[in-house]
Structure 1
């Protein structure tokens, strides 16, 4: 089943209220929602007829004995069955609308998240995003779909009041006397509950962050025997959530009983005033029974009204948290007329300055030219800016000053999808999905055949260990690939990049966790694969440098030396010092 695009989006006008911004989502599903609401209203019309039939039956069949009681019994039973059928259809359409709105909202949020640059994820916690993409979306969906239904349910008060006025005006006014008070209290409850609703959602997001980090970092937690400390941290977060929920419960305990019981006060008033009227001959017993039924009908809508107020405040808080994400623009997007051209691999960094979003400087006036088909190793101490080159080349970040060009085209002028299809990057920390090994290697080319996947795995030195697995290429790796060794994960990541066969390849210390003997075999295969391909190798091993025909030495975000390994070793003492560090690390 193919993925359906959302039928609408959130209104981008930040001056509007949260509800007005969300209305396009509701309007996109207006046909099914309207059918549900019309059916709900029809069910209410049927429902309010039953007490009226009960009044007529009591007065005519029991008191006056001028009609058959069975006639009214059958009418009431028939209306009850009809109401049940209508309510079933109304509920069916309502739930369909609810799930459609939730589907659209999730896709809108996810589509925006995947467009955000690396810098956004550098500063926003993943648990926070998970909370806003799950519980916050559900809170908004509940209000947008069930809110209109609750309002229709509340219309029973209007319909019932109209019928009561047609039967007995004074008694109808008595029955509705408490309703203005309920409305006033509802407004007060809404104002009281909003701040705590926001706090609850924020603290739930904080809890989600702690849980996410503990699951993702469970090996570090266990390695340092920090389970107790993490449990205490989780407990403190849970205590904060409990406090917020208790405040929410206190607010509800003050307001909800009043909202629930005021209609019952109306019931007592109907009995008192109506009873006096019956004694004086001003009305009938059937009328009092019918009015009691109508007053009882008013209780669920006003209870729902209280629930709607709470849903509204929770949704308001959640919507604002979602809008914080949607209103954050991506500063790395396609230009007005992006270029979609095949690249040969002539790479230039010209006067590039760059600092990460947290202010950490990385490059300071860097100049570097890599010719098409050339293999260049970038060497330098930690923090010299080596890995940043690949991130700027794939435009995961934009330069602060200067330019990065490929074949004379600034990467900011190229279509992002096309650029990243032609710049293959193997990061130093490979990420694998909880999929089969075949699907992980074919991630960049989902339509690749098994033979193509195997060929890429052989080139990356992964075929041997994959075939030894019980299920081979169909074996499903655990989350993040932790069922495999670090070297095995790196080899699969290399295979994934090679299968795409990009004209430009960036290897960011891609074989650091691979055994030296295996690395040699990989290097022999890569040497063949890199022929004619522009390759940038971020090297932290002496053996890796051997793949390159040219070496660039970086320091302080600049290129300070450039040449062959032999020439640099003979003429550049700073290069020798870096190599000495490599030798100590490998030893």
Structure 2
């Protein structure tokens, strides 16, 4: 089934209430919703006719014996069957409406999340986002779809009251005397339960964060034998949720019995007053039976009304948490008139300064130029700003000051999708999806042929080990690719970038986990693939640096030396120190 776009979005006006902001979503599905509500209302009309028919049947066929009992029985059975059919159709359309709204709301949230820049994810916990995209979305959907249906169900009280008035006005007033009290109690319950609903949703998100971090970091947890400590952390988070749920339970246990039992008090009053009226000859036995049925009909709507109040508070809290995401603007957006054309690859960093959201300064007035087709290796110590170059070139972040241009065009003027299609990045810790190796390599080109995938894998030195796997290119890797070694993941990541064939390629220490012998074997194909392509290599190994036409040395976010490997080695002692430190570190790791 092909994916369709959401039919509506959330109103961006933050001054409106959460419900008014969600109205466009409801209006987009009003056809299904209105059909469901109309059917529900028709079902209620049919339902309230049954007690009245029972009243007439008792008085006519049993008390006065002027009519046939079988006629009334058949009529009641017919109405019951009709009501069942109508309720089936109403429920079917209501559930379709609910799931359509949920589909749209999830897609609205996800579409916004994928537009957010890296800086947003540096600040926000993934478990928090998962909670808001799952349980919070469901809470809002439940209220938007089932809330109107519950209101229609509550209309049975109005319809029943009108019918009771037409039968016996004093008895109808007696039957409804408790209803205003229920309304006052419902408002009081709403005020009491809102803060607890917010607290529950917030603490569920905290628990989701703990669980997510433990699942993602399970290897670290086990490596440090920290299972007990993490279980205590989870237990503490679960205890906080339990406390919030207990507060919610106390509020419900205090208010729900009153909301449930007040209609039963009405039943007792009807029996008392109606019985006296029958004794005095002012009404009939059938009327009392009918009124008892009507009073019983009033109980479910008012119970549903209490549930709707709680659903509303939960939905209000959840909607505000979702809106916190949707109202967070993306700092990185397309220019109003973006450039979208093929790029040659002239890459220039002009007086670029950049600091990460946490305040860490990565680049400080950096100047660097790469000509189209040139391969440049960037060398420097930890924290010198090497990896930041590629992230800024692909506009994962925007520069704090200065500008980055490709072919003389500021990257902020280039359409984001076009820019990222033409700036390929291979990180040092690549992420693989729980898909087949073929699909992981073809991720940037989903319709790539098997031949193209194999060619990219051969160029990355991955074909040999892939063919040794049980199902070759159809082997499904485990989550994040942890069923493969670090070097194998890096080679697949290189193949994934090469198959897109970008004019600019950034290899961010992309062969750091690959054996030197294997790395040397793939250098030949990499040289061929890099010919005519602007390539920025963040490097530590001499073997990787040998791929470059020139070498740039960075320190403290600036370029402090630029030249060939041999010239820098002869003239720049800091270059030799960085290489020596990198070589020593690599030897320690291999040992």
Q: TM-score under structure 2 normalisation? A: 0.99
* Correspondence 1:431-446 to 2 at 5 A: 431-446=431-446
2: distance between equivalents of 1:583 and 1:214?
A: 34
Report the alpha carbon displacement of residue 91 of structure 1 after superposing the two structures with TM: 0.3
Report the alpha carbon displacement of residue 242 of structure 1 after superposing the two structures with TM: 0.4
Report the alpha carbon displacement of residue 585 of structure 1 after superposing the two structures with TM: 1.1
2: distance between equivalents of 1:343 and 1:524?
A: 25
* Correspondence 1:206-225 to 2 at 5 A: 206-225=206-225
Please give the secondary structure, in 2, of the residue aligned with 1:8: coil
The equivalent residue for 2:406 is: 406
Per-residue CA deviation, residues 352-375 of structure 1 (Å, 9 max, x unaligned), is: 010001111100000001111110
Per-residue CA deviation, residues 137-158 of structure 1 (Å, 9 max, x unaligned), is: 0000000000000000000000
Please give the secondary structure, in 2, of the residue aligned with 1:560: strand
The equivalent residue for 1:579 is: 579
Per-residue CA deviation, residues 113-147 of structure 1 (Å, 9 max, x unaligned), is: 00000000010000000000000000000000000
The equivalent residue for 1:161 is: 161
1: distance between equivalents of 2:453 and 2:414?
A: 29
2: distance between equivalents of 1:446 and 1:219?
A: 31
1: distance between equivalents of 2:197 and 2:308?
A: 13
2: distance between equivalents of 1:521 and 1:539?
A: 17
The equivalent residue for 1:58 is: 58
The equivalent residue for 2:287 is: 287
Residues 486 and 514, structure 1, Cα contact 8 Å, conserved in 2: yes
Report the alpha carbon displacement of residue 60 of structure 1 after superposing the two structures with TM: 1.1
Report the alpha carbon displacement of residue 186 of structure 1 after superposing the two structures with TM: 0.3
2: distance between equivalents of 1:483 and 1:464?
A: 17
Report the alpha carbon displacement of residue 76 of structure 1 after superposing the two structures with TM: 0.5
Please give the secondary structure, in 2, of the residue aligned with 1:511: coil
Per-residue CA deviation, residues 370-418 of structure 1 (Å, 9 max, x unaligned), is: 1111100000000000000000000000001000000000000000000
2: distance between equivalents of 1:534 and 1:65?
A: 100
2: distance between equivalents of 1:30 and 1:531?
A: 58
* Correspondence 1:487-526 to 2 at 5 A: 487-526=487-526
1: distance between equivalents of 2:49 and 2:123?
A: 60
2: distance between equivalents of 1:19 and 1:586?
A: 58
Report the alpha carbon displacement of residue 580 of structure 1 after superposing the two structures with TM: 1.0
2: distance between equivalents of 1:542 and 1:238?
A: 51
Please give the secondary structure, in 2, of the residue aligned with 1:339: coil
The equivalent residue for 1:35 is: 35
Moved segments of 4+, more than 6 Å: none
Q: Are 2:143 and 1:143 equivalent residues in the alignment?
A: yes
The equivalent residue for 1:354 is: 354
* Correspondence 1:74-473 to 2 at 5 A: 74-473=74-473
The equivalent residue for 1:26 is: 26
2: distance between equivalents of 1:425 and 1:194?
A: 47
2: distance between equivalents of 1:280 and 1:540?
A: 104
The equivalent residue for 2:559 is: 559
Please give the secondary structure, in 2, of the residue aligned with 1:469: coil
Q: Are 2:545 and 1:537 equivalent residues in the alignment?
A: no
2: distance between equivalents of 1:367 and 1:149?
A: 63
Report the alpha carbon displacement of residue 281 of structure 1 after superposing the two structures with TM: 1.1
1: distance between equivalents of 2:572 and 2:537?
A: 20
Report the alpha carbon displacement of residue 513 of structure 1 after superposing the two structures with TM: 0.2
Please give the secondary structure, in 2, of the residue aligned with 1:252: helix
Please give the secondary structure, in 1, of the residue aligned with 2:511: coil
2: distance between equivalents of 1:153 and 1:254?
A: 24
2: distance between equivalents of 1:457 and 1:525?
A: 10
2: distance between equivalents of 1:53 and 1:2?
A: 51
2: distance between equivalents of 1:511 and 1:16?
A: 52
Please give the secondary structure, in 1, of the residue aligned with 2:47: helix
Residues 157 and 301, structure 1, Cα contact 8 Å, conserved in 2: yes
Report the alpha carbon displacement of residue 542 of structure 1 after superposing the two structures with TM: 2.0
Report the alpha carbon displacement of residue 540 of structure 1 after superposing the two structures with TM: 2.0
Superposed CA RMSD in Å reads: 0.5
Please give the secondary structure, in 1, of the residue aligned with 2:444: coil
Report the alpha carbon displacement of residue 261 of structure 1 after superposing the two structures with TM: 0.3
Structure 1: unaligned runs, 5 residues or longer: none
1: distance between equivalents of 2:586 and 2:92?
A: 65
1: distance between equivalents of 2:540 and 2:427?
A: 13
The equivalent residue for 2:15 is: 15
Report the alpha carbon displacement of residue 14 of structure 1 after superposing the two structures with TM: 0.5
1: distance between equivalents of 2:156 and 2:35?
A: 18
Please give the secondary structure, in 2, of the residue aligned with 1:442: helix
Per-residue CA deviation, residues 442-470 of structure 1 (Å, 9 max, x unaligned), is: 00001110000000000000000000011
Report the alpha carbon displacement of residue 233 of structure 1 after superposing the two structures with TM: 0.5
1: distance between equivalents of 2:390 and 2:431?
A: 17
Please give the secondary structure, in 2, of the residue aligned with 1:219: helix
Report the alpha carbon displacement of residue 536 of structure 1 after superposing the two structures with TM: 0.1
Per-residue CA deviation, residues 281-303 of structure 1 (Å, 9 max, x unaligned), is: 11111111100000000000000
Residues 106 and 137, structure 1, Cα contact 8 Å, conserved in 2: yes
Report the alpha carbon displacement of residue 544 of structure 1 after superposing the two structures with TM: 1.1
The equivalent residue for 2:71 is: 71
The equivalent residue for 2:483 is: 483
Report the alpha carbon displacement of residue 9 of structure 1 after superposing the two structures with TM: 0.4
Q: TM-score under structure 1 normalisation? A: 1.00
2: distance between equivalents of 1:98 and 1:138?
A: 9
2: distance between equivalents of 1:359 and 1:525?
A: 40
Per-residue CA deviation, residues 551-573 of structure 1 (Å, 9 max, x unaligned), is: 00000000011001111111111
Please give the secondary structure, in 1, of the residue aligned with 2:352: strand
